[in-house]
Amino acid sequence: MGVKDGERDNVNFSTIPKGAKPTLVKDDSFFTKKRFGFIFNEEKQIKEAYKEITKVEDMLSPGNSACLGCHAELALRTTLRILGPNTILAIPPGCMGGIGVVGFQGGAGTKIPVFFPLLDNTAAMLAGIKRAYRRQGRDDINVVAFAGDGGTADAGFQSLSGAAERGENIIYICYDNEAYMNTGVQRSGTTPKWSWTQTTPIGDGSRGKSQKGKDMPMIMAQHGIPYVATANPSFLPDYIEKLKKAMQVKNGMSYIHLYSGCPTGWKFPTEKTIEVGKIAVETNLYPLWECENGKFKLTHKVWKRRPISDYTQSMQKYAHLSPEEISELQGIVDSNYKRLEKLCKL
């Protein structure tokens, strides 16, 4: 099947890695606007994604107190634009609750209903809300959690796991900034090995966190729910497509694990947030994938992997690492990625 007349001129061949063979794929996604397109046309995808989100109303107040360069705030703003006004939102204690999204002095921080659950019961509360709407015949409501890693992988995991096992039809999004940032940068269950936090300091006898972080998206995939995905606000087209897929699921939970760079807690310049997020993907530290009904698939292939040292050098929380520790971290990244590749081939 060939490219239609006139379409070849719209392909940006400069984005195709040297020696790679462009693959013609069927692509009916919202950012392509054509039936067929080259998978390497990333620049076009980005432009069309921004065009798409600017056409819809911003559902999040511009007057919040998020830190400069907050990845999670960008992600939440995009999330609400895509989900639209027919949405019920729950945000447990954490950064997004702390910046005023759940309300301030009697006013809500969003243009949609937003609830402020406890740190440990977000999924259970949303399950009840979804069931109540279903009893009313309102199965069209998006019932969504936007929770941090502490409220997801630690305190909130019991209710999350239970809701997943029961097949509750909610969308659960975890914005993972790899620590309890709202309370002062304390380690969480997803904090990576060797990361500096206030509770895993650097000094005599301490090299940061000594344990590996929980692999939450893989843990959720093992629950057998219809849709699990990783996402990154530095790759908005990919995230938007995954949000749209999550909205279409009607037979169980959708879980999206969102990489959320934190300039304040990770100690990098605020203007580098998008760049740091890109490096996380380009080093294979945070690969972008999805699992649809048990089928794993990479959604962003890295053609030329960057060394993990490019990532550790981009922030201060890894500034203490020795060459030997960086080498060990590279081995962890490579091992995790090989496991993912094997799953994608099943």
pLDDT of residue 63: 79
pLDDT of residue 61: 85
* Residue 242 domain flag: yes
* Residue 11 domain flag: no
The domain that holds 330 is classified in CATH as 3.40.50.970
Digitized pLDDT (tens) for each residue of the chain, 346 residues in all: 333 433 333 333 333 344 444 333 344 444 343 333 444 467 777 788 778 888 888 999 887 889 999 999 999 999 999 999 999 999 999 999 988 888 766 677 899 999 999 999 999 999 999 999 999 999 999 999 999 999 999 999 999 999 999 999 999 999 999 999 999 999 999 999 999 999 999 998 899 999 999 999 999 999 999 999 999 999 999 999 999 999 999 999 999 999 999 999 999 999 999 999 999 999 999 999 999 999 999 999 999 999 999 999 999 999 999 999 999 999 999 999 999 999 999 8
Three-class DSSP category at 230: strand
Taking alpha carbons only, the member of 102, 28, 33 closest to residue 61 is 102
The phi, psi pair for 306, rounded to 5°, reads: -90, 150
* Residue 19 domain flag: no
- What's the number of domains the chain is made of? 1
pLDDT of residue 107: 73
* Residue 262 domain flag: yes
* Residue 256 domain flag: yes
* Residue 7 domain flag: no
* Residue 16 domain flag: no
Range of the domain at 184: 38-344
- Which pTM value belongs to this model? 0.86
Distance CA 299, CA 67 (A): 30
* Residue 226 domain flag: yes
Three-class DSSP category at 136: coil
Taking alpha carbons only, the member of 214, 86, 77 closest to residue 152 is 214
pLDDT of residue 27: 40
Taking alpha carbons only, the member of 319, 327, 102, 28 closest to residue 196 is 319
Rounded to the nearest integer, the mean pLDDT of the chain is 88
Instruction: Report angle CA 203, 322, 149 to the nearest 5 degrees.
Output: 70
Q: Which residues contact 176 (CB under 8 A, 6 or more apart)?
A: 148, 149, 152, 153, 190, 216, 257, 258, 259, 260
| Helix, strand, coil share of the chain (percent; to 5) | 40, 15, 45
Distance CA 148, CA 96 (A): 8
115: β partners: 90
Chain segment 129-184, per-residue pLDDT in tens: 999 999 999 999 999 999 999 999 999 999 999 999 999 999 999 999 999 999 99
